[in-house]
Structures are given as structure tokens and as C-alpha cells.
Chains A and B, each alone.
Chain A
Amino acid sequence: MSEVIVVTSGKGGVGKTTTTANVGTGLAMLNKKVVLIDTDIGLRNLDVVMGLENRIVYNLVDVVEGNCRAKQALIKDKRYPNLFLLPSAQTRDKTAVSPEQMKKLTEELKDEFDYIILDCPAGIEQGFKNAIAGADRALIVTTPEVSAIRDADRIIGLLEAEEMKRSDLIVNRIRMDMVSRGDMMSIDDVVDILSINLIGAVPDDENVVISTNQGEPLVGDDSLAGQAYMNICRRIIGEEVPLLDLSGKSNIWQKIASIFKKN
């Protein structure tokens, strides 16, 4: 059964696009057929994070307006043949698409794909309404900051009002060193305040910046963020995966074990 997942946050710059790219790529690595849709019309970004910016011919607005068929606009990923991107239009604005049109498009893509992942724009206006229209479930991305959590709470309220079937939380950019010295809210604090199900936490990892520079999502590599994203993907497909230790410090026994592993 296919699922339409919207990645949303309310506040900008918390990692929606990075999350979309990594979750989408991770699901493709788990042998699912996946399409990513960038719904941020006018400010497209998912194409660059995926490293597919040079291959764009048609975009979301072209598909919706009937200038081309959905299949023609889909860009095949560089690394995974079962992963596709439907880029957004750069020269139009959010009013170019309506929630009804998005619903129709996602329904159409459900025949072909296991997961349709929508990268939602920041804010709660038309772009947000477009992105959530056809979604079965939502991934709400937040960081452990007052402003991001406040916006996430507002988004959760709006999603409830729209009767979203399922909403899960991703706490992004957590820094365990700051948490342990009491200068950052912990994952538990954030979950406690927002009281929705946690589907994963991603550490503030410089490898994320490096991967974005290169246009290659890091999901599944051995960096902490890469592992965290892969765990989120496994939980999305229904596996039970324990929460990753994000402290980045291994104890003496793990260190000894890793010495033997390398040889």
C-alpha cells in the first residue's frame, strides 16, 4: 500500500528539505519505490540537496497545468533507480497550484510509487495547504529551540484540524554536549512539550553540511546523522528500531571493539 508523507515544520530553516532528501533516499535504499515532490513553488531547493539541479526539464506547475505528463517531469536519481524527484517551479508562486490539484496528483502517483514524500514550504499559508492536501501522514521537523517548537505546536494543531491521520515528530540538530550541560532542551523535553509520537532524532552533524555541499544525501552512511536518518526510514516502514545514542562518545569497550573491527 502506498503512502503520501508530508515533511513540514512551520518555521523555516529547521531541516525540512534535508529530511525529505534523506528520508526519501533512505526508503529507496530499503528497496521502496519513492518519489519526492518539492512543493515550495518559487523557492525550490530539494533539487540541489539531491544534486539533480542540472537535469530539470519540466516541473510541478507544468504537470498541474497539463503542459506535460507527470512521468515526463520526474527526474531519476543519480544513485538509486527506484528514486525520483518532481522539482518545483522557480519562476512561479504558490497560487499556481491548488490543494485539489495536489490531491489529484498524489492520487495519480500512488499507482506507481510506494512512498510519495512532499517537501512542504515554511509557513502556514497556501503552500502549506497545498502540501498537506493529499497527505496520509506528516513528519514534523523541529529543532530544540523555543521558536521552532512553538511553530511546530501550531502546525500540529493545524494538522489535527485538517484531520491528518498520523503525525510523527523528528527532533533535528540536537547537540548532546549542550543538552548534558543544561543549555539545550533534551529530546524528552521537546516530546513532552509537543506530546506527539517521536519517530527519530538527528544530531547536529557537520556531515550534513558536507553532504548538502556535494548534493548527496548522507542517509545510511556511518555518520551519526546518516544512521539516525536510516533509523527513521526503518521506523516509517514499520520496523521497531531503538533510539540511537547520539552522544557521539563511545565507551572504552566499544573503542576496543572498533579497533578489532577495523582489522
Chain B
Amino acid sequence: MGLFDMFKKKNSSEVAKDRLKLLLVSDRANCSPEIMEMIKNDIINVISKYMVIDAEGLDIQITQTESENNNGFVPALFANIPILDLKNSMQEKK
């Protein structure tokens, strides 16, 4: 291995492994795209009560995360919700 290999990005077998692990978590969770879409819409409705969010940019997925109880990886619902304006509903109530 050359000196420059240290700076090289992950090799393709590791990329495949990581992609597969994520993919299988959501496959095994048996969550259909329709259900995911419903969860997504409900999240948008709830959060929108309190702040302005970018519904287009919202991304949810089932992934895995390291358990705090130290028994390996557990499935987790990951949501990335871009906030456009924090103040929104609070100001309206004033």
C-alpha cells in the first residue's frame, strides 16, 4: 500500500456493506413506502404547529443506531427536518 492510499476514500466493498446494512434494516422493519409517507405527513403536521419547516426538504428513514444499553445496533427512525422559521406560532399567539 502506498502512502497516498491513506487519503483514499472507502473502497467499494465497504460502501456496499454500509449500504446493505441500512437497506436491510428498513427492509426488515417491513415499513411500506405508503406508511413512511403517512408518518412523514403526520410529522409535518405536528411540527408545523410550532415552527415553519421546509416540507419539501424533509427526509425520514429507518436506519440503525447504537443502543445505549450496549446491546449492539437497534433500528431507529431518523428525521431530518429543515426549519425555516422558529418563531412562527409563538408570535401568532401573542
B11 & A183 in contact (Cβ 8 Å cutoff)? yes
Please tell me which one of the listed residues B13, B23, B24, B28 contacts residue A185 in the complex, with CB atoms under 8 A apart.
B13
A178 to B20 CA separation, bound complex (whole angstroms): 18
Measured between beta carbons, the chain A residues less than 8 angstroms from B23 are 146, 150
Please tell me which one of the listed residues A153, A178, A182 contacts residue B24 in the complex, with CB atoms under 8 A apart.
A153
Q: Given A146-B19, A150-B20, A193-B20 in contact, is the A184-B13 Cβ separation under 8 Å?
A: yes
Query: A189 within 8 Å of B by Cβ?
Result: yes
Q: Given A193-B20, A193-B21 in contact, is the A150-B13 Cβ separation under 8 Å?
A: no
Query: B69 within 8 Å of A by Cβ?
Result: no
Query: B71 within 8 Å of A by Cβ?
Result: no
Query: A149 within 8 Å of B by Cβ?
Result: yes
Interface size on B, residues (CB 8 A): 13
Q: In the complex, how many angstroms separate the beta carbon of B7 from the nearest chain A beta carbon? A: 15
Query: A157 within 8 Å of B by Cβ?
Result: yes
| A-contact bits for B5-17, CB 8 A (1 contact / 0 none) | 0000001111011
A185 & B16 in contact (Cβ 8 Å cutoff)? yes
B27 & A150 in contact (Cβ 8 Å cutoff)? yes
B13 & A182 in contact (Cβ 8 Å cutoff)? yes
Enumerate 13 A-B pairs (CB-CB under 8 Å) in ascending A order. Answer: A146-B20, A149-B20, A150-B27, A157-B28, A178-B13, A181-B11, A182-B12, A182-B13, A185-B13, A185-B17, A186-B13, A193-B21, A193-B24
Interface residues of B (CB under 8 A from A): 11-14, 16-17, 19-21, 23-24, 27-28
Q: Please provide the 9 A-B residue pairs with the shortest distance between their CB atoms, ordered closest to farther.
A: A182-B11, A185-B13, A183-B12, A146-B16, A182-B13, A153-B24, A146-B20, A184-B13, A189-B17
